[in-house]
Structure formats: C-alpha cells, structure tokens
Amino acid sequence: MIPQQVKDVLFAVNRLAVKPSCWLWRARFTLKHASELYVNLGCGPHYVEGMLNCDGNLFNKIDLWLDLRNPLPFPDESVAVAYCSHTLEHMFPDDALRLLREIRRVLRADGVVRMVVPDVDFAFRIARGAATSHWPRDFRDPVGQAMNYLFCDGQHRYAYNHAMLAEVASQAGFGQVTNVSDEHGVTPRPYGPLLLGGEAEGSLVADLRR
C-alpha cells in the first residue's frame, strides 16, 4: 500500500493535471447528448464491465481519468446508475459533500446511487471483540483493530454510520437513502442491467435516490 504522504503529493498534482481530460470528456458527453450513463466513481482496482470506470490513478484499469474533488464531466440528469464503493471515506467532509451534490446533479430522476463505505457500527463490533480486522496493520487489542479498520493507516479521512451518511446525503439534496446492508448485506443486487455488490465484510451499503 502506498503511504498516504506520497498519495497526498500525487493527488495534489493530479487535481490540476486531470482538468483538460475532464473538459474533453464534458464536451464529448454534451455532443453525444448522453442520457443513460452507468458510472463507477473511484473504481480503484475494481473495474466493472458495462460501466464507465473513473479514477484518479492512471495505473489502474480505467475508462475515464478523474479527480472526484473536481466537478463531474457528465451532463445534468444523465446518469442512470452511479456506483461509489469505498471512496467517500477517503475524502474530507466538505469534499465528500461536494461530490454528493455533483452526483445528485448528474443523476437522472429515476436513477440510483449504490454508495458503499466502511461502517462505524462494524468498528464498534470489532472493539467489543465480536469481529476482527487485521489489515493494514495487525493489533492484538480489539480497540486497536477497530481504529485500524476505521482509519486504514491514515488512508481514510472520515467515517460513517447509516444515520451520518443519510444526513450528509440529505444536505446534498437526496430525498431517499435506503440502508441496503440491513437486509442484503453486501450480496450483489441488480441495478438496471448490472449486478453490483460483493464488497468487503463490514461495509455499509446505501441506495441514494433523488
């Protein structure tokens, strides 16, 4: 895993370097009158066939080079399904709120967002000794494991339970935030023509709708 100090430098440069690419993609989507996009925001190494896979790391397999702190290049109400898995926690709260507002802007009226983050409630289970987490560092103490899970060696900027995520999503303008993990866990589910899911244990999964 790349140390966060190195990532901070790389992504400071990336935020500016990626802008010409975003301008070109914005023009392309406008000219094509894009109206039914399926986007994977912050895909990392998890490329999903049938989606526009977006990430700031050019060493990952991606379709679209983005920095999610910048405005999204998609037209208003053009995205049918947005998938954002284990990405929001890497952002400071203000950046996360701006991203959610951007996602709402580009989401169609009948669209849906599958938002996945590490669950604070799962961290509490770890701290009580009811679950374990040994990556990226191994702690014998369960509270140490819980902190390790939440902050991921300094990679994570923030943490959410469902109530917190719903409140932030509401501030971004979303009208409906459904806790999918309560009923389905991380089991893959259909989203339009796609089957999305299978995230790590302890993930909080929520569907966001306008």
Taking the C-alpha atoms of residue 205 and residue 184, their distance in angstroms, rounded to an integer, is 9
All CATH 3.40.50.150 domain ranges in the chain, comma separated = 4-117+160-209
Over the Cα atoms of the chain, what is R_g?
A: 17
As a CATH number, domain 4-117+160-209 is: 3.40.50.150
Closest CA to 55 of 13, 95, 98, 87: 87
At residue 165, the pLDDT reads 98
At residue 40, the pLDDT reads 98
pLDDT tens, residue by residue, 103-131: 999 999 999 999 999 999 999 999 999 99
Taking the C-alpha atoms of residue 55 and residue 69, their distance in angstroms, rounded to an integer, is 11
Out of 1-5, 122-126, 162-166, which region has the weakest mean confidence (pLDDT)?
Answer: 1-5
Q: What's the rounded mean pLDDT across residues 186-204?
A: 96
Return the beta strands (E) in 13-128 as ranges.
Answer: 37-41, 52-55, 64-65, 79-85, 107-118
Q: What's the rounded mean pLDDT across residues 91-102?
A: 97
Model confidence at 6, in pLDDT bands (50, 70, 90)?
Answer: confident
At residue 1, the pLDDT reads 67
At residue 13, the pLDDT reads 80
Count H helices and E strands in the chain, helices first: 7, 9
With 80 as the cut, is the pLDDT of residue 154 above it?
Answer: yes
Closest CA to 74 of 64, 83, 84: 64
pLDDT tens, residue by residue, 14-69: 788 999 989 999 999 999 899 999 999 999 999 999 999 999 998 899 999 999 99
